[in-house]
């Protein structure tokens, strides 16, 4: 699943993190000219309200890339990476394109992986006041999963793979992730500018790690709008940012599970048997207002306030009557801090702030106790067994409203909401 890092990640200020978390396969280091790490409340003006702040990957462009670049690196355990790239500034336009591939055998048994992808961007400057840039990233990865070892196993042979993972050839495949975006900046006055961006992100996964195979479809669309204004306040420089960041999961987001290695409840079913279908839906919208006021030549006061609206929903559409879990809520965050620039390469900062991080969509289905349920089909359960009636839980503003519904399932075992 995408990683729940507790921070917001972006490419060139445009969202990579969505309601389902942050996928990793598009974060190819060779495609970046730099990385901004904005810890804690320092990510506030990017709409990042989580405790970990924000991480922004800055793409290479034709303004800082050679016409032809060739890169090769190699290391132990069969590691190798190759890249060919090109970038150029052509008057008011510039372009950059990079093709990469990599492979490794891994340090442990059954821990090899490979990946290949392409990144490109094209920018155009219409005038000193108006410029735009289009971005494209696509990458495929595949990784064998060695699994966990006990302490005794680790001390005996740290390079061994978990026997169960090895027997079922456990692996995780990202068959092709796409990120397509545009960012436009309009400086409509000497001290004011608008930054607008749109991003489309599609990141399917094929998880073959356990006894079930899970095919996941994640797609989301994001929009960013920032108004930035520079002023003088009582003789002190002041910069104010008013911004909106929103990300919406598309209706196709969800997963399907199939029997991969018959075991336990699925022992009597053939590989490939469908066990369930469910959706991962949700959205995040953040409206934020921040200010940075220069108190002295090397001292700034930072302040801000933000409102966030989040929505999460997961529906089990197969088996029939699988149930729904949903929630939506408003919340807020605020910050007040100081930043002291000791020298050009060193600064100190401190913030008093509140952080907000909504749950990931997939966590709604993986947090209840397993309950066997009597029904025809793969999850019939032992003869004569009857399960207590499960509940559907709807959260409204943090409060739960219960109503009868069918079970929500987990990895072959139907679930019911916790009482």
Q: Which residues contact 248 (CB under 8 A, 6 or more apart)?
A: 220, 221, 222, 283
pLDDT of res. 3: 60
pLDDT at 157 over 90: yes
Task: Return the biggest CA–CA distance within the chain.
Answer: 81
Classify residue 411: in a domain, yes or no.
Answer: yes
Classify residue 269: in a domain, yes or no.
Answer: yes
Neighbours of 126 (CB within 10 A): 11
Q: How many domains does the chain have?
A: 1
Q: Are 393 and 417 in contact (CB under 8 A)?
A: yes
Classify residue 2: in a domain, yes or no.
Answer: no
> Domain with 346 in it: what CATH number?
2.40.170
Average pLDDT, stretch 127-150? 96
Average pLDDT, stretch 91-107? 96
Classify residue 64: in a domain, yes or no.
Answer: yes
pLDDT of res. 326: 86
pLDDT at 227 over 50: yes
Using only the alpha carbons of the chain, give its radius of gyration: 25
pLDDT of res. 199: 97
Average pLDDT, stretch 375-380? 40
Q: Which of 361, 363, 358, 368 is nearest to 397 (CA)?
A: 358
319: cis peptide before it, omega within 30°?
A: yes
pLDDT at 82 over 50: yes
pTM: 0.83
Confidence of residue 114 (pLDDT cuts 50, 70, 90): very high
Torsion angle of alpha carbons 185, 189, 192, 194, nearest 10°?
-30
pLDDT of res. 418: 30
pLDDT at 381 over 50: no
Confidence of residue 1 (pLDDT cuts 50, 70, 90): low
> What tens digit of pLDDT does each residue of 163-198 get?
999 999 999 999 999 999 999 999 999 999 999 999
pLDDT at 361 over 90: no
Structure tokens at 163: 């026997």
**Percent helix / strand / coil, the chain, rounded to 5:** 5, 60, 35
Classify residue 3: in a domain, yes or no.
Answer: no
How does strand 324-343 pair with strand 391-396? parallel
Classify residue 49: in a domain, yes or no.
Answer: yes
> What tens digit of pLDDT does each residue of 399-412 get?
333 333 333 333 33
Distances (CA, A) of 104 to 115, 163, 170: 9, 21, 16
Confidence of residue 119 (pLDDT cuts 50, 70, 90): very high
Structural domain boundaries enclosing 295:
8-415
Computed over every residue of the chain, the mean pLDDT equals 85
> What tens digit of pLDDT does each residue of 271-307 get?
999 998 999 899 999 999 999 999 998 999 999 999 9
pLDDT of res. 391: 35
pLDDT of res. 268: 87
Q: Are 201 and 179 in contact (CB under 8 A)?
A: yes
Lowest-confidence pick of 63-72, 283-292, 339-348: 339-348
Classify residue 1: in a domain, yes or no.
Answer: no
pLDDT at 136 over 70: yes
- 360 by Cβ neighbours in 10 Å (0-12 / 13-18 / 19+) ranks as buried
């Amino acid at each position: 699943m995408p990683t729940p890092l507790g921070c917001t990640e972006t490419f060139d200020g445009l969202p990579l993190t969505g309601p389902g978390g942050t996928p990793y396969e598009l974060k190819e280091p060779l495609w970046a000219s730099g990385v901004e790490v904005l810890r804690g409340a320092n990510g506030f003006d990017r709409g990042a309200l989580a405790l970990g702040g924000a991480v922004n990957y800055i793409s290479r462009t034709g303004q800082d890339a050679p016409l032809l670049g060739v890169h090769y690196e190699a290391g132990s355990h069969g590691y190798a990476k190759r890249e060919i790239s090109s970038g150029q500034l052509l008057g008011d336009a510039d372009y950059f394109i990079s093709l990469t591939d990599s492979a490794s055998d891994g340090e442990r048994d059954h821990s090899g992986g490979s990946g290949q992808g392409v990144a490109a961007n094209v920018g155009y400057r219409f005038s000193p006041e108006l410029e735009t840039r289009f971005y494209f990233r696509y990458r495929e990865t595949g990784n064998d999963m060695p699994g966990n070892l006990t302490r005794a196993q680790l001390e005996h042979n740290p390079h061994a793979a978990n026997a169960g993972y090895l027997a079922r050839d456990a692996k995780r495949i990202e068959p092709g992730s796409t990120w397509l975006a545009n960012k436009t900046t309009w400086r409509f006055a000497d001290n004011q500018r608008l930054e607008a961006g749109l991003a489309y992100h599609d990141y399917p996964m094929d998880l073959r790690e356990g006894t079930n195979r899970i095919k996941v479809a994640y797609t989301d669309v994001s929009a960013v709008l920032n108004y930035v204004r520079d002023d003088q306040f009582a003789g002190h420089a002041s910069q104010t940012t008013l911004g909106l960041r929103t990300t919406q999961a598309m209706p196709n987001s969800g997963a399907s599970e199939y029997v991969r290695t018959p075991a336990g409840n699925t022992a009597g079913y053939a590989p490939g048997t469908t066990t369930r279908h469910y959706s991962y839906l949700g959205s995040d919208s953040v409206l934020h207002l921040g200010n940075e006021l220069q108190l002295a030549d090397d001292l700034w006061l930072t302040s801000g306030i933000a409102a966030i609206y989040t929505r999460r929903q997961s529906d089990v559409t197969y088996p029939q009557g699988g149930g729904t879990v949903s929630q939506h809520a408003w919340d807020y965050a605020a910050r007040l801090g100081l930043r002291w620039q000791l020298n050009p390469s060193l600064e100190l900062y401190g913030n008093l702030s509140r952080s907000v991080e909504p749950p990931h969509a997939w966590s709604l289905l993986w947090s209840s106790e397993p309950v066997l349920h009597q029904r025809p089909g793969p999850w019939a359960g032992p003869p004569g067994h009857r399960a207590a009636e499960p509940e559907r839980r709807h959260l409204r503003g943090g409060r739960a409203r219960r109503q009868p519904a069918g079970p929500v399932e987990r990895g072959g075992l139907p679930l019911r909401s916790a009482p």
